[in-house]
Structures are given as structure tokens and as C-alpha cells.
Structure 1
Amino acid sequence: MDLNLQINTKYKEEDTTDEPVSPSGQYFNSKTLSVRILGILESEIPIDDSNTFPLLEQLFLPINPRFSSIMVHDKKGVKHWKRVEVKLEEHVHVPKYPNGLSIEEYNDYFDKYLTEISIKPLPKDKPMWEIHFFKYPTIKSAGQVIFKFHHALGDGFSLMGALLSCMQRADNPSIPLTFPSIQPSSETKRMDDVGCVPKTMSAIYNTACDFGWSVVKSSMISDDKTPIRSGVQGVEFHPIQISTVELSLDHVKQVKNAIGATINDVITGIIFLGTRLYMQATGKEFSNSETTALVLLNTRNIDGYKSIKEMLKNDSNTKWGNQFAFLHVGLPSLVNDQSFNPLTFISQAQKTIKRKRNSLAVYLTGQSLEFLRKCRGPEASAEFIHSTLQNSTMTVSNMIGPVEKMSLANHPCKGLYFMVVGVPQSLTITIMSYMRTLRIAVGVEKGYIDAQKFNSSLENAFQLIYKAAMKNI
């Protein structure tokens, strides 16, 4: 491990001051919501965890004081991060299974273990993170490292930045990791400008419609019950099954170039079409049922990952924390006739998301949550977010990963993906790019959604879209 990455863990006196918990941090750790994030790293070689505690102390804990803090209330009921002594042995878990089993048997054990830790809440009397070492071979890798964080610590951008700060390039540790370029659109920049005013009548109209519909959808109208939405109360406490689908990033780029879309547009179209194919396979009546996806939008005005030092600065565009918003996007209907064109799922998703990002609905929704918090407290805002999630069908979020192969403590990383758990939905989908592969992770309500059939529907959707796009060349 590069010694230059090590950080002194002796905190200065001024560092011990309690940090107030941000409003979003309070929402995600409340009586109503307790949302966690899992990051799964697949190792090419068997895992050696002998240096775990020194690495955690020297690299991980100094990244952010929240990793050494618990959430407490003061006398006025205001939540703060309180620094505590971290007992590392309480945060590291290594499950034990019989030796000499087949890869398939260990794979089943891993799936069950992932389900087990997904549903289990993080203790509130210690810092809200854990690391799990699954030191057995599976179909995907020689071993797996699972990072479990509470969402109150930060969003995927912050936590992935923390994780990647502990990584190195596998080919040359002295060279930093690089990432695909991200060029924020003018719409994103405009949303981040608090004082901006829509300049066209269409933007004003879109803002009114989108904000009004978002409020109604979050508080009054729920999606239909379908093969991917059970609609039961307390679904966030049901066991989930996590699986993944791998797509070639080069093939996705071919589709992007052929139809003049973005990679995110193509991915969203694949997910929407695959979801409808799964629903239709269960019953024709679900081809046009009311189904809404919450597409997560990073509200930082950035062009890529920032260093931990930059994220800890008091800069609203890059700072650590939860800085994202939901976009309500309805899934297009699926009509199987001679006029069916799978590319319409991309074009419709592209059109809808672009229009919604061109309004100020996201900004107004954020202001409404803040107004609700000030008037009725953070629990009321958490209940509104819970209702937003519960009334929709699925959540879709994505992250970019390194272009080069990376390693963690000299363990080459074969694959990397993440999953958000503890949300009141039967279906959650996340996307992560790493090297030349897109990894789509699918979290489903166990026993309600057939994960294998759903994944096959996603793969079928990609093949339909790819073939249709190649005909345009």
C-alpha cells in the first residue's frame, strides 16, 4: 500500500467539535426511514484480511469524521454527529462456512448472506458502517468485500469517493485512477443556481406541471399493483435478493452513437423496456399499467469525482453529503405489433428526463422539504420521502467507475457494483461502470419478483435495442 496515502489518525482538539446532522442525513435515519448502501467489490484473488485493522485506521477512518461518529440528540432534540472511540473489531465481519464445497454451493451461501446483511439495520450506538469479507470462491470471483454504509453518512457520490480514495491502479499504483468525462448539461447548471428564473413560457409550464404532479404523486396517487410492485406496507423490511447483469460498454456506446443519445439515455431505455417485457410476460394487462420510476439525479455541478479534501470543503457544488433529487418518470407502454420499435423506449425516456431537468421542479421539491422540516420537523419530511418512494414502483440510480483496473490492498478488483437497501419498494436498480463493462444490479423483493427472469428480460431488451440501432447505421 502506498505510504503517501496514509493519514495521521491523531485528531486535533478542534476536530472534536460535534457536527450538526444535515437535513437529508436526518431524513435517512429517522423513525420512518433507515436507508443503507452496499458496495460489493469482487476480488480476482483469495482475500487476505490480515492487514484490515491497520488499513482501516490509517486510510479509512481519517477520510471523514462521520466514520468515527454516532448520531445523537441534544437537549433541544437537534441531531449531531458525536465523535466516539471506534472499536474496529465490531465493524468487521467474516462469515464462516464449511470447507471443500463447490463454487455453486458457496455462491448460494453468498446470495443468502447478502440478503441477510441487506435487511439487517446498522446499530445506532456505534458508527454506521461495516465491512464484510466473504472469503470463499463464487461464480463471479475468488472472494468478495462488502462495504455497508448508512445513507445518512452521505450519498453514493460521497461514499464511492471515499471507497475509491483507498484504491490504487492495479497496473501502476503511483498513477491516479481516471474516470470517463462528465459534462454537466446547461439544464443541470441552471438547477443548481438558486436564483435562476425560467426564461421561457415552456419552462414555466413544465415547472408547474412537474412540481404539481410530483407533489400529487408523492402524497395522493400510487402506482398500480403489478408483478414488480407488491404495494404492501412495510415492504422495506422484507428480504431482498440482489443479482447483476453485465453489458458491454462498447456495445452501449455503439447504440448511443447510432441514435444520437447519451449513455444514460440508452441505459434508461434498456431498463424500462426490460421491465415492461418482464411485466408483460406475467400478464398482457400489465403492458400499460401505471408504473413510475424515480430516476436519481446528482445535483452537484461537477465534471467528475473530486478528492476527499475537495469534498470536505464548504462548497455546495462538491461537498460531502447527500446531494441528489428524484425525477418521476413514467414507463412507456409496451405494444407488441408490427409498428413496435424498441428504440422508442430510449427516445421517450430521453425526452421526458430532458424536459423535467429543464424545469425547476427539482429545486422547488427540495425547498418544499426544507419548508416542511422547519414547520413540522425532520420526521415530517422523512415521511414525505417515504411516501414518494412507496407510491412509485422502482428507483434507478447510476455511478461511474474507473476506466482502469484497480486494486484494494494489492487485491485486483474484478468487478464492482452497489445497491441501495431499506427503501419501501419491491424493485431497485443501480448501474455502475467499471473498465469496459456496465454492471446493472437488481434488488428485488424476495419471493415476489423472479430475479432470474427479470435479468433475462433486461438482457433481451438490450439485444432488441442493439439490433434496432445497428439497422440505422
Structure 2
Amino acid sequence: MELNAMDYFGDELNEPVSPTGQCLDNTSLCLYILAFLEFQVPIHNLPIVSLVEDAFLSIPHFTSIMVDDERGVKRWKRVEVKLEEHITEPKFTDNGIPVDSYDKHFADYISKMAMENLPQTKPLWQVHVIKYATSNAAGTLVFKFHHAIGDGYNLMGVILSSLQRADHPSLPLSFPSLKSSKPKNISRFILEKMPQFLSMPFTFVSDFGWTLLKSTLVEDDKTPIKSGVEAVEFRPFKLSNVTFSMDHIKEIKSNLGVTINDAITGIIFYGIRLYMQNIDYKSRALNSTALVIANTRHIKDYQRVQDMLKTTKGSWGNHITYYHVSVPKLQDIPISNPVQFINKAHTSIKRQKNSFAPPLITKLLRMKNKLEGPEALAKHIHGTMRKSSLLISNVAGPIEQMAWANHPIGGFFFTLSGIPQSLVITVMSYMGMLRVTTATEEGFIDEQKLMRYLNSAFEIIRHESIAKENTP
């Protein structure tokens, strides 16, 4: 339902919705972020109304709706928030059934809830209070945020600003450092960068051209992870998780001389290819591409919500971009050499990060929005997603255990809905563990088998990295 500013005659309209925000809320593309807090104790006594009020109602985007002004420009309009309309407590069935039955009720509820559009007449967020115990938690809070409100950095920051350390509530949460721990040797740095600098024009033209082709003309093959059906974003999906030790990931990183992001991406790619080969042997040689979401901020750590909101040019909003990374083929890399999946991921990601292509693509998208409008940009981004095989997004979580109102939180993860792909993978660290979450098209991808292959890929690559390190 489109709302007009005249529906709120006499009330002042606030700042315009950002171009990206408008793009993420229209008929072609409507994206949501779902964040999950898994509690270790029952949450029957959790004062959810007061907690949500304290966490959200001081933030303008959580007390506003999008309306059109007299020129048709979407703007944020402050409205009265009725918390009872944003907090939902589902009723599954009577108590006394096995936990695995609640797991199914939970999965079905999340799939249905994730696909429902939020009403435009209310601020675009919900909190779902699931008091039933599942195999992962004694109780779960699920936050549903419209992506137009902000990106993962903003929305995770809002949640994290409301939580406390379980061991010392007065101390701030800490996060994994994203900065390099090794000081750079200037001479060595110049020597290492010289070949890259000399090849930069060719690399730029190659990467830029490939990205344009992947966004417009070239579509990935249909494979066991890409059904290619129309409107796949409206089909039911299954959420699954596999968890790895951060210490083991760091061990792989150190042994192979790559980054943590390279290590986990290589593991995911290897596990995916093993799954694809098991389902259809021919798919080992078919083209598959991951669309990797990246944060364009120069900020290294989370900010307090108050700091995010200080200026309109601050860190609030959708400061994200994307780049394509090819999933290596098993015909190119022998199955007996899985470490090459890490090396390939390292080379591809490093090349994209050092290329001018992603920033230029971002500028072109802004120009397209300015000349053709949010609907045209949304169609372009939708097509870019649909032509690739999967999406990968990652967020760094706290090192320490969190609690909300003295209720300890054992698990913390997120996913995305509205993505026109059969497979969406999100990665989040928390309490020394790395959680990989998959949202898979129901009835097309065997999510349990995929989880087994991801776990197997991790074990194989870890073993191979240790052997490589110990080889004289």
C-alpha cells in the first residue's frame, strides 16, 4: 500500500529515504534482515516490551514510515508506535510434544514469516518471541527488519547496543579485530605491490567488464544449488546451521597464509562443490558464481547507535556493495587437493578488494538510480542476484557471551529473505565460534546433506592445512 504525505496533513516530513533504501522497497525487490537470539534459559519472564522500547524507540527509523511527498519522493515520516503491533508471540501447539516437533513448528513459522511483507502503514520492523524450547535454545527472539531501515552493520549495532556481557554487565562487549596484527615493512610492501600496480589497467578492464556481463547478460548454469525458477524468493525455504571453531579457522588461516574470510569462503566453496557433485556429477564442471556482499565503511568496529545517528553523512544507512567470485570447478582442482579452494578464494577476493571495479560499479548504480529511478535500479540488482548462484554475507559478532535482562544468550546468527536465489549463506562469529547459516529453497536443496558436506569440507581442509604446515 502506497501512502501519500497528504494522509498525514499538518505533520512535518523528515529526511528523504536514501536511494538504496528506496531501491530495497518496491515491487521488484523487497529485502529483509532476520536476526536470531537463542537463549540458554526460558524467556517466559523476559520483559520484552520494555526492552524493545528502550532499544528501538529512540531511533528515528524505528518510529517512522515511508511516505511520498508532493513530488513523489519517499520520505521518512514519524508516527506513533504501538509496541503491541510489532511484538508477536506465536502459538504452536500444547506443551508436552517432543523438542524435534517444536523444531519443525519453528522452521515452518520462520519460513512463512520471512516471506510476508511488513505493512507500510507501520514502522518496518517486528520482534517474534518464541517461548518454545527447540534443540538449539530454551527460547528464541527473532528480529525482522526491512533492509530499507539500514544494513547489517546498523541493525546488528542496534541489537548489540542493547545487550550486556553475561559475565560483567558493566564492561563493554569486544569484537574480533579486523586490523592487521603485523606491521608492514615499507620496502617489502612496495615490492609486493609493484606487479599488482603494473597490471592494474588490465585487471580493472577485465574485472569491470566481467561484473557488467554477470549483471546483465551472463547467467550461471542451472545446478543442484540454482533451480532457476521464477520468483524463487517467494518459495518456502529451510534454515540450517553448521558451526566451526574460530581457533581451528585461525589455524587454517595461519597454516595457509590467508585471511579468515579467505578460509571460510574456500571451505564453503569446497563443501558446495562436493554437494553438487554428489547430486549431479556433471555439475562439477558447470559455472557457479557467488555474489559477495561487502561493507564500504572505513569503520573497523561497531559504533554506539547514538554515534551512528550523529550526522546524515555518518555510518547509518545502506553502505554496502557487492562483487562476484567464481566457485572453483572440481574439474579444474583435483578433489585430492582441496587446499586449492582456499588459495583460489584468497586470490579472487584479494583481486576484487584491490580492484577499482567494485567502487566504479557502485557509482554506476547510483547514476542509474539518478537517471532512471529506484524501480529500474531494483530490477537491475534483482537480475544481478538471480543470474548468480548464491549470496554470501558475513558479520563479526562479540567475543564474550551476551545477556539480555540477565538471560544468557547461547547463539546469535542472521539470515536474509527476499533474495531471488535458491541458496543464501550468512556467516557470523560469536563466543569463539563461527556459525554458517544457509537459507535453502525447500524441496530443491537437501539442506541436511549440504550441511554434512560443509562440515566435511572443513575437516578435510583443516587436516590438509596441518599436513601442509608440517611438510618440510
TM-score, normalising length: structure 2: 0.91
Which of 166, 179, 183 in structure 1 is aligned with 2:162? Answer: 166
1:305 is the counterpart of 2:302: yes
Which residue in the other structure is 2:54 paired with? Answer: 58
Distance 1:402 1:378 in 2: 35
Q: Is the contact made by 1:184 and 1:303 (CA closer than 8 Å) also made in structure 2?
A: no
Which of 22, 26, 30 in structure 1 is aligned with 2:26? Answer: 30
The residue correspondences of 1:67-106 to structure 2 (distance < 5 A) are: 67-96=62-91, 97-106=93-102
Distance 1:337 1:161 in 2: 40
Q: 1:327 to 1:49 in 2, by over 3 A?
A: farther
Q: Is the contact made by 1:430 and 1:442 (CA closer than 8 Å) also made in structure 2?
A: yes
Cα deviation, residue 278, structure 1 = 0.5
Q: Is the contact made by 2:55 and 2:158 (CA closer than 8 Å) also made in structure 1?
A: no
Which of 244, 251, 255 in structure 2 is aligned with 1:254? Answer: 251
Which residue in the other structure is 2:400 paired with? Answer: 404
Cα deviation, residue 115, structure 1 = 1.0
Q: Is the contact made by 1:119 and 1:240 (CA closer than 8 Å) also made in structure 2?
A: no
Which residue in the other structure is 1:209 paired with? Answer: 206
Amino acid at match of 2:252: V
Distance 1:49 1:297 in 2: 38
Per-residue Cα deviation, 1:36-67 (whole angstroms, up to 9, x for no partner): 010011000001355222222223211x2010
1:466 is the counterpart of 2:462: yes
Distance 2:446 2:306 in 1: 43
Q: Is the contact made by 1:184 and 1:302 (CA closer than 8 Å) also made in structure 2?
A: no
Distance 2:300 2:55 in 1: 25
Which residue in the other structure is 1:108 paired with? Answer: 104
Amino acid at match of 2:388: S
Q: Secondary structure at the match of 1:472?
A: helix
Q: Secondary structure at the match of 1:19?
A: coil
TM-score, normalising length: structure 1: 0.91
Cα deviation, residue 228, structure 1 = 0.5
Q: Is the contact made by 1:157 and 1:305 (CA closer than 8 Å) also made in structure 2?
A: yes
Which of 431, 435, 443 in structure 1 is aligned with 2:439? Answer: 443
Q: Secondary structure at the match of 2:298?
A: coil
Q: 1:104 to 1:248 in 2, by over 3 A?
A: same
Q: 1:29 to 1:339 in 2, by over 3 A?
A: closer
Q: 1:53 to 1:339 in 2, by over 3 A?
A: closer
Structure 1 stretch 332-341 or stretch 238-247: which is displaced more? 332-341
Q: 1:339 to 1:30 in 2, by over 3 A?
A: closer
1:144 is the counterpart of 2:140: yes
Amino acid at match of 2:235: H
Q: 1:251 to 1:385 in 2, by over 3 A?
A: same
* Number of equivalenced pairs: 446
Distance 1:178 1:338 in 2: 41
Q: 1:143 to 1:359 in 2, by over 3 A?
A: same
Distance 1:337 1:231 in 2: 26
Q: 1:27 to 1:100 in 2, by over 3 A?
A: same
Cα deviation, residue 199, structure 1 = 9.3
1:282 is the counterpart of 2:261: no
Per-residue Cα deviation, 1:141-181 (whole angstroms, up to 9, x for no partner): 10111000001111111100001001000011110100011
Q: Secondary structure at the match of 2:104?
A: helix
Amino acid at match of 1:220: L
Q: Is the contact made by 1:287 and 1:333 (CA closer than 8 Å) also made in structure 2?
A: yes
Per-residue Cα deviation, 1:183-214 (whole angstroms, up to 9, x for no partner): 2799xxxxxxxxxxx99342222222111111
Q: Secondary structure at the match of 1:114?
A: helix
Per-residue Cα deviation, 1:200-250 (whole angstroms, up to 9, x for no partner): 342222222111111111111110001110111111111111111011111
Q: Is the contact made by 2:215 and 2:380 (CA closer than 8 Å) also made in structure 1?
A: yes
The residue correspondences of 1:313-332 to structure 2 (distance < 5 A) are: 313-314=310-311, 319-332=315-328
Q: Is the contact made by 2:291 and 2:391 (CA closer than 8 Å) also made in structure 1?
A: yes
Q: 1:412 to 1:352 in 2, by over 3 A?
A: same
Distance 1:182 1:315 in 2: 25
1:225 is the counterpart of 2:217: no
Which residue in the other structure is 2:187 paired with? Answer: none
Per-residue Cα deviation, 1:313-356 (whole angstroms, up to 9, x for no partner): 3375x511111111100000114997731110010011011111
Which residue in the other structure is 1:194 paired with? Answer: none
Per-residue Cα deviation, 1:363-421 (whole angstroms, up to 9, x for no partner): 11111111111111111111110011010000001111111000112210000100011
Distance 1:124 1:17 in 2: 16
Which of 368, 374, 378 in structure 2 is aligned with 1:372? Answer: 368
Structure 1 stretch 75-84 or stretch 176-185: which is displaced more? 176-185
Q: 1:448 to 1:52 in 2, by over 3 A?
A: same
Q: Secondary structure at the match of 1:180?
A: coil
Distance 1:237 1:315 in 2: 34
Q: 1:404 to 1:445 in 2, by over 3 A?
A: same
Q: Secondary structure at the match of 2:121?
A: coil
Which residue in the other structure is 1:200 paired with? Answer: 197
Q: Secondary structure at the match of 1:152?
A: coil
Which residue in the other structure is 1:6 paired with? Answer: none
Distance 1:116 1:371 in 2: 36
Cα deviation, residue 287, structure 1 = 0.5
Which residue in the other structure is 2:270 paired with? Answer: 273
Q: Is the contact made by 1:206 and 1:356 (CA closer than 8 Å) also made in structure 2?
A: no
Amino acid at match of 1:246: T
Per-residue Cα deviation, 1:285-322 (whole angstroms, up to 9, x for no partner): 10021100001111111221111122113375x51111
Q: Secondary structure at the match of 2:199?
A: helix
Which of 159, 166, 173 in structure 2 is aligned with 1:177? Answer: 173
Amino acid at match of 1:424: P
Amino acid at match of 1:344: Q
Per-residue Cα deviation, 1:224-283 (whole angstroms, up to 9, x for no partner): 001110111111111111111011111111111111111111000010001101100011
The residue correspondences of 1:36-47 to structure 2 (distance < 5 A) are: 36-47=32-43
In structure 2, the gaps of 5 or more residues are 1-10, 184-194
Distance 1:199 1:457 in 2: 35
Amino acid at match of 1:286: S
